[in-house]
Structure 1
Amino acid sequence: MKEFELINTYFTEQLVNRRDVVVGIGDDCAVITPAEKQNIAITTDTLIAGVHFPKNTPAKAIGHKAVAVNLSDLAAMGAEPTWISIAISLPEIDEDWISNFCEGMFALCEFYNVQLIGGDTTQGPLSITITAQGVVPVNKQICRSGAKAGDWIYVTGELGDAALALKHYYGDITLRGDSLAYAMNRLNEPKPRVLAGQAVREYASAAIDISDGLLADLSHICKASNVGANIVLEDLPLSDTMLTCLGAEKAMELALSGGDDYELLLAVSEDNKVGMETTLADMGTKVTCIGQLNGNHKITTTLNNKPTQLNVKGFEHFANE
């Protein structure tokens, strides 16, 4: 099977066919018609085997995650996902692998009504780059730069479980049974908070998705908004699996530093707290207040009202150079 046979067999046929796509896969460019009074949000993420996912990760999970991490970025901006394009490099054409990859990718696209509109396929080390686009009402996007001192810090879901799975993979700990299955699911099939992101547009002053670890991603909001923050460690939302496998202190450290959560980190003013909490509760989305922004221009942590220093940091590419 050659390149264009591969494209026609696995990437052209899909269940989502949006009316705003004028020209999709098969031409030099895709052509789309944006809706009136909507801005287009665009994000790109690359996944490299051995860096963003273990090399033995199932193809279906890789397809899911490749889409999910991009939709998570759109969610953090309050955007509704609409279209994606994919550039994929493959060592060889393994039809079973490609079929399973597409199954994972298109299942998430179908769920959120996202259409694949183009891309590129090449031969080389396994690498997947997806550019995702979405729409957001004019001037309603949520940016990192809108937070103010006094805003409360919220996170959706629970933190650290994906990093727990990586600890097992690299042999730092041993997980078994339900604990292993739970953690691997959180790593391989993250759930982008797409609907929650749109729901908090009216309430959040700033937002980011947690991909490189809570502290690392919170620092981006603090830098962009020129504020500091304090995190209340005992308020971090931790799963029973995390607490059972690591104990409270190690679980807190991993929740602060572990990446791949793809939950939303939100800054919300005092006036908007109740509205945001009520809106997400009505959607069935867990959200937890974990601290507050301040004017100190640094990030601190407290435990039981006492300052606590933990030796943790988030993931950063090229940090070891």
Structure 2
Amino acid sequence: MAQQDGNSETEFDLIARLFAPLSDSPHGLNLTDDVGLVPDTDGRSCITSDMIVAGVHFLADDPADQIAQKLVRVNISDLAAKGAQPVGCLLSAAFNQQRDISWLEAFANGLAEDMSAFGLVLIGGDTVRTPGPDTFSLTAIGRLGEGGMVTRAGAMAGDGLYVTGTIGDAGLGLRILRGELGAVALGTRTRLEGRYRLPQPRADFGRKLSGFASASLDVSDGLIADAGHLADASGLAARIDFDRVPLSSSATRVVKKDRSLHLSLLGAGDDYEILFAAPADAAEAIAEASGDTETPVTRIGDLAPGKAGEVSVVDGQGMALDVPKMGYRHF
């Protein structure tokens, strides 16, 4: 949502140059993943932190309870993509000074609802007032299963590339809220706006990832961008079959025959689905996990030797497609 300045360095360039040198412990994974490991006796505790800002990650007039729920869910999504069970969290909240007590109460109610739903307990944090935009950060702690953490970096050449659920609903929902898509049927509009405001993290499916996934992350910056992050960490190139990328019925109705709009969904972001790599012999385990958790899973491509992090999108005939937007950049 934010406009970018002229800085040529990406978020990941800045992290690598300025902050990765501060992570000289193996627990920080050189700041190359969405979570870090907590130094403890068994190596199965992990931690993640996400920040959301009004006008960047949510609209300032979004309902307070839904803003709070989105804050919880984007963190749960990171834990899910690593195979972790949520345990506890720390909240830092900078409320705009115009927010009244009823708004804060609604925000707290949203937190309570989702923390209960996902098994989180608030164990600390900080709150302030600010003349600037509402800014909220949640640091979530999770526990990994016996299979350990599924990082971004474990994919092998020949692995399939899979995604849960559908892609593009949230991006369309945001464009509808901004008035960019013209008239959209009320039912379709409601479903797509809901997907933007309230992501649906794949917590149940995520807990099964370590049984079959070689690498994984959640789709927050956009399918192509995050496929590039996974491929880069694994030292491989990724190929995505455009015709296999799953859309919801609501998204399908909106894009119709608009090829450019359809292509743009691959870079829209805010999907919070799980993107993972897995070897060919994992197909049965993936199908079982999909059925057990009632989570749709689609193979959308593969990983191969090539320039690390390069992502190509091809049509049904294998011809390369020009995708208009490659994903959200934080810097």
- 1:182-216 deviations in whole A, cap 9, x for unaligned? 01110111111111111121100000100000000
2:256 maps to a residue whose letter is: G
Contact 1:237 1:288 in 2 (8 A): yes
Contact 1:156 1:265 in 2 (8 A): yes
Q: Distance in 2 between matches of 1:196 and 1:314?
A: 25
2:112 maps to a residue whose letter is: F
Any unmatched runs of 5+ in structure 1?
A: 1-33
Of the structure 1 ranges 47-56 and 163-172, higher mean CA displacement relative to structure 2 is found in 163-172
Alpha-carbon offset, residue 177 of structure 1: 0.5
Matched, 1:317 2:330: yes
Matched, 1:221 2:234: no
Q: Distance in 2 between matches of 1:305 and 1:294?
A: 18
Alpha-carbon offset, residue 173 of structure 1: 0.5
Contact 2:81 2:150 in 1 (8 A): yes
Q: Distance in 2 between matches of 1:252 and 1:202?
A: 33
Alpha-carbon offset, residue 296 of structure 1: 2.0
1:306 maps to a residue whose letter is: G
Q: 1:148 aligns with which of 139, 148, 156?
A: 156
1:256 maps to a residue whose letter is: L
Equivalent position of 2:245 in the other structure: 236
Q: How many residues align?
A: 286
Q: Distance in 1 between matches of 2:119 and 2:288?
A: 26
Q: 1:176 aligns with which of 170, 185, 189?
A: 185
Task: Specify whether residues 191 and 99 from structure 1 end up closer, same or farther in structure 2 by C-alpha distance, changes over 3 A only.
Answer: same
2:172 maps to a residue whose letter is: L
Percentage of matched positions with identical amino acids: 33
**Mapping for residues 298-309 of structure 1, pairs under 5 Å:** 298-309=310-321
Alpha-carbon offset, residue 282 of structure 1: 2.2
**Whose radius of gyration is greater, 1 or 2?**
1
Alpha-carbon offset, residue 139 of structure 1: 5.9
Any unmatched runs of 5+ in structure 2?
A: 1-38
Alpha-carbon offset, residue 36 of structure 1: 6.6
Q: Distance in 2 between matches of 1:168 and 1:133?
A: 34
- 1:162-181 deviations in whole A, cap 9, x for unaligned? 00011112222033300110
Alpha-carbon offset, residue 251 of structure 1: 4.9
Equivalent position of 1:208 in the other structure: 217
Q: State TM-score, norm by structure 1.
A: 0.85
Q: 1:133 aligns with which of 141, 153, 157?
A: 141
Q: 2:279 aligns with which of 269, 287, 308?
A: 269
1:316 maps to a residue whose letter is: R
**Mapping for residues 110-125 of structure 1, pairs under 5 Å:** 110-124=116-130, 125=132
Q: Distance in 1 between matches of 2:227 and 2:211?
A: 20
